[in-house]
Amino acid sequence: MCGKFTAQLTWDEYCDLAGVGADAIDPKSALATFTPSMRVPVLHLGPVRQRRITLMRWGWYDHKAAAPLRQFKHLHARSEEIDRTVTWMEPFRDSRGVIFTKSFNIGETLPNGKTKQWVCTRADGEPLALAVIFSTWELVQARLTAFAMITTASCPPLDGKDERMPALLKPDEVAAWIGEEGASASELKALLRPYDGELVMREQETGKPKAERNTTKTRAPSEQPDLF
């Protein structure tokens, strides 16, 4: 299951893929290697149905959490159940978004119980479009907008390492997914199938010198401005 992805895009490239102006968000805090609870730039339709990018927390709201701005309930939503599970039905109908990235990780469970990370990319090196759903909650502490990544069954060669992977959209499917083309529920769900393009993977490097590691800093969710 995907627990990390890396944009590896400039802010101008990201906005060009999203079809929005590059002044949408401060790019210094927008692109990074993203892990759970971080804020991620998500393309979606705004209130008047225009494209916009909003920073959203990766991790669904947990109403039982003591600190809901820092704790979450779900990271992923299974594509097979997205239209019939109470948690996902309304966001699937009304609140769909896309994240652009160059790579994502999957985890292989080893016999000793540890997890080996594999970095997955398109064979041609082009960006990937990840399908997500999101929602907003008005909490006492702050307004929280959070998303869950949609997953499908893995395609080769990833299926030899992990049975699940992110739902990947083709470039000409993004408009339909975010709601610009009035697709039906069945047409939208049909977009969430195992990827039929060519992907490659490599083992995640470990033990990199500190100077080579990603040093992008992201403020805690409670410190982030609400951009929704």
Structural domains in the chain, CATH included, are: 5-223 (3.90.1680.10)
Distance between CA 78 and CA 133 in Å, rounded? 11
Over its length of 228 residues, how does the chain's per-residue pLDDT go in tens digits? 688 899 999 999 999 999 998 776 777 767 889 999 999 999 999 988 899 999 999 999 998 888 888 889 999 999 999 999 999 999 999 999 999 999 999 999 999 999 999 999 999 999 999 999 999 999 988 999 999 999 999 999 999 999 999 999 999 999 999 999 989 999 999 999 999 999 999 998 875 534 334 433 333 333 333 333
Distance between CA 27 and CA 97 in Å, rounded? 19
Find the helix or strand (DSSP H, E) in which 69 lies: none
Q: Please report where in the chains the tokens 């339909």 appear, as a residue.
A: 176
Would you put residue 37 in left (φ > 0), alpha (ψ -120 to 50) or beta? left
Question: Which tokens belong to 74?
Answer: 């779900």
Distance between CA 146 and CA 101 in Å, rounded? 18
Q: Which amino acid is at 198?
A: E
User: What pLDDT does 24 receive?
Assistant: 65
